[in-house]
Structure 1
Amino acid sequence: MTSAIGKYLQNGKYTLEQELGQGGFGITYLAQHNALGHIVVVKTLNDSLRQDPKFWEFQRQFQDEARRLAKFSHPNIVRVTDFFVEEELPYIVMDFIPGQTLKTLVIPNNPMPEYLAIHYIQQVANALKVVHRHGLLHRDVKPQNIILRQGTQEVVLIDFGIAREFTPGLTQTHTGVLSVGYAPIEQYLPRAKRTPATDVYGLAATLYTLLTAEVPVAATLRHRQMLPPPRELRPEISPMVNQAVLHGMAVEPEQRPETIDEWLALLPIQNHHSAGANTPDSYHSPLSGQPTVALAPPPPPPPPASHSPGRSVNPAPMPSPHSVGETAWSEAAPSVSPGTPPSGGLVNQPSSSQTKFNDRPWLIAGLAALGVLGAIVLGSIFLRTTDSPLPIPAPTQEDPTPPSPEAPSFEAPLPPVEEPELTPELSP
Structure 2
Amino acid sequence: MDTQVADPLLGTLVDGRYRIRGRVARGGMATVYTAVDERLERTVALKIIHPAQVRDAAGQAFSLDRFTDEAKTIARLTHPNVVAVYDQGTHAGLPYLVMEYVRGRTLRDILAERRRLTPVEALAVMEQVLAALAAAHRAGLVHRDVKPENVLVAEAPTGGSHNLIDAVAKVADFGLARAVEASADDPNGGQLMATVAYVAPELVTDGHADPRSDVYSAGIVLFEILTGRVPYDAERPVEVAWQHVDRDVPPPSRIVAGLPPVLDELVAAATRRSPGGRPTDAGALLAAVQAARENIAASGTTQRMRPVEQETVIVSHVTPAARPSWARLPDAQPAPRSRRRAPAPAPSSPVDRIKAQYRKLMGDPRGRLALTAGAVVLALLVLTGGWWLGFGRYEVTPQLTNLTKDQAISTLAQAGLEYRFLDPQYREDVPKDVVLVQNPPPGERVVRGGTVVLTLSAGPERYLVPDVVGKSWELAVADMQAAPLKLKPVKAGEKYDDLAPKGTVLSTDPKADTEVPPGTEVKVIVSKGKAPLSVPFVEGKTVAEATDILQKMGLRVSVERVESDKPYDIVVKQTPANGAGAEPNDEVKLQVSNNQNVKAMPEVRNARCGDAEGLLASMGLQVEVRGVLGDKNWFKVVNQNPASNTAVQAGQQVVIECQLG
TM-score calculated relative to the size of structure 1: 0.57
The amino acid of 1:21's aligned partner reads A
Q: Hey, what does 1:389 align to over in structure 2?
A: none
SS at match of 1:97: coil
Q: CA contact under 8 A between 1:17 and 1:30: conserved in structure 2?
A: yes
Q: Hey, what does 2:76 align to over in structure 1?
A: 71
Q: Closer, same or farther in 2 for the Cα pair 1:20/1:271, shift >3 Å?
A: closer
SS at match of 1:135: coil
Give, in whole Å, the separation in 2 of the partners of 1:110 and 1:4: 35
Q: Hey, what does 1:185 align to over in structure 2?
A: 201
Q: Closer, same or farther in 2 for the Cα pair 1:249/1:130, shift >3 Å?
A: same
Deviation sequence 1:280-336 (CA, Å, 0-9, x none): xxxxxxxxxxxxxxxxxxxxxxxxxxxxxxxxxxxxxxxxxxxxxxxxxxxxxxxxx
State which of 210, 214, 220 in structure 2 corresponds to 1:195.
Answer: 210
2:151 matches 1:149: no
The amino acid of 1:63's aligned partner reads T
Q: Closer, same or farther in 2 for the Cα pair 1:131/1:225, shift >3 Å?
A: closer
Q: Hey, what does 1:20 align to over in structure 2?
A: 24
Deviation sequence 1:368-393 (CA, Å, 0-9, x none): xxxxxxxxxxxxxxxxxxxxxxxxxx
Q: Greater strand percent: which structure?
A: 2
Q: CA contact under 8 A between 1:76 and 1:156: conserved in structure 2?
A: yes
- Please give the root-mean-square deviation of Cα atoms over the aligned residues, in Å: 3.0
Give, in whole Å, the separation in 1 of the partners of 2:290 and 2:36: 42
2:223 matches 1:235: no
The amino acid of 2:60's aligned partner reads K
Deviation sequence 1:153-202 (CA, Å, 0-9, x none): 1100012221469xxxxxxx76422112111122224x443321100011
Give, in whole Å, the separation in 2 of the partners of 1:219 and 1:259: 22
Q: Closer, same or farther in 2 for the Cα pair 1:252/1:20, shift >3 Å?
A: farther
State which of 220, 224, 228 in structure 2 corresponds to 1:205.
Answer: 220
Aligned residues with identical type, % of pairs: 26
State which of 5, 8, 14 in structure 2 corresponds to 1:3.
Answer: 8
Deviation of 1:125 (Å): 0.9
Deviation of 1:270 (Å): 6.3
Q: CA contact under 8 A between 1:108 and 1:214: conserved in structure 2?
A: no
Deviation of 1:113 (Å): 1.2
Deviation sequence 1:125-151 (CA, Å, 0-9, x none): 111111111211001111111111123
Q: CA contact under 8 A between 2:248 and 2:272: conserved in structure 1?
A: no
Deviation of 1:240 (Å): 1.2
Gaps of 5+ in 2: 158-166, 181-188, 233-239, 301-482, 484-661
SS at match of 2:289: coil
Q: Report matched runs for 1:409-428 at 5 Å.
A: none
Deviation of 1:254 (Å): 2.7
Q: Hey, what does 2:471 align to over in structure 1?
A: none
Give, in whole Å, the separation in 2 of the partners of 1:260 and 1:225: 23
2:55 matches 1:51: yes
Q: CA contact under 8 A between 1:136 and 1:164: conserved in structure 2?
A: no
Q: Closer, same or farther in 2 for the Cα pair 1:101/1:273, shift >3 Å?
A: farther
Q: Which has the higher contact order (CA 8 A, sep 6+)?
A: 1
Q: CA contact under 8 A between 1:181 and 1:219: conserved in structure 2?
A: yes
Give, in whole Å, the separation in 2 of the partners of 1:272 and 1:163: 35
Give, in whole Å, the separation in 2 of the partners of 1:66 and 1:268: 31
Give, in whole Å, the separation in 1 of the partners of 2:127 and 2:70: 24
The amino acid of 2:88's aligned partner reads F
Q: CA contact under 8 A between 2:55 and 2:62: conserved in structure 1?
A: no
Q: Greater helix percent: which structure?
A: 1
Q: CA contact under 8 A between 1:18 and 1:31: conserved in structure 2?
A: yes
Aligned residues between the structures: 270
Q: CA contact under 8 A between 1:186 and 1:192: conserved in structure 2?
A: yes
The amino acid of 1:178's aligned partner reads A
Deviation of 1:48 (Å): 2.2
SS at match of 1:18: strand
Q: CA contact under 8 A between 1:115 and 1:272: conserved in structure 2?
A: no
Q: CA contact under 8 A between 2:192 and 2:207: conserved in structure 1?
A: no
Q: Report matched runs for 1:16-415 at 5 Å.
A: 16-52=20-56, 53-57=59-63, 59-107=64-112, 109-152=114-157, 153-160=167-174, 161-163=176-178, 175-189=191-205, 191-217=206-232, 218-222=240-244, 227-269=249-291, 271-272=293-294, 275=297
Q: CA contact under 8 A between 1:142 and 1:202: conserved in structure 2?
A: yes
Q: Closer, same or farther in 2 for the Cα pair 1:73/1:162, shift >3 Å?
A: same
Q: CA contact under 8 A between 1:212 and 1:230: conserved in structure 2?
A: yes
The amino acid of 2:196's aligned partner reads V
Q: CA contact under 8 A between 2:77 and 2:84: conserved in structure 1?
A: yes
Q: Closer, same or farther in 2 for the Cα pair 1:77/1:273, shift >3 Å?
A: farther
SS at match of 1:188: helix
SS at match of 1:261: helix
Max Rg structure: 2
TM-score calculated relative to the size of structure 2: 0.38
Give, in whole Å, the separation in 2 of the partners of 1:174 and 1:204: 26
SS at match of 2:87: strand
